[in-house]
Amino acid sequence: MRRKNWRLVIVGLVLIALAVGFFFFMLSTAPKSNDPAALMQTVGTVSGAVGGLSLVLIVIGLIGRKA
């Protein structure tokens, strides 16, 4: 039987929330930028990387470890 690591799952969920919040916050400030397209490309890359990392943490947390 495997024990789920709920700490990793919670951290993954918090990271997803932070990535989405960061994306939408930067979406609202992008029109003030000199190059909004480049800014949003960078923001999307960062948000995607954090989102991917958080999904990996959630999966590893749900798989768990041997008891």
3: which 2 tokens? 């024990």
Phi, psi (degrees; rounded to nearest 5) at 8: -65, -40
| Residue 22 CB neighbour total at 10 angstroms | 14
Please check the confidence at residue 4 and state whether its pLDDT lies above 90: yes
Contacts of 37 (CB under 8 A, 6+ apart): none
> Could you report the per-residue pLDDT of 6-65, keeping only the tens digit for each?
999 999 999 999 999 999 999 999 999 999 999 999 999 999 999 999 999 999 999 988
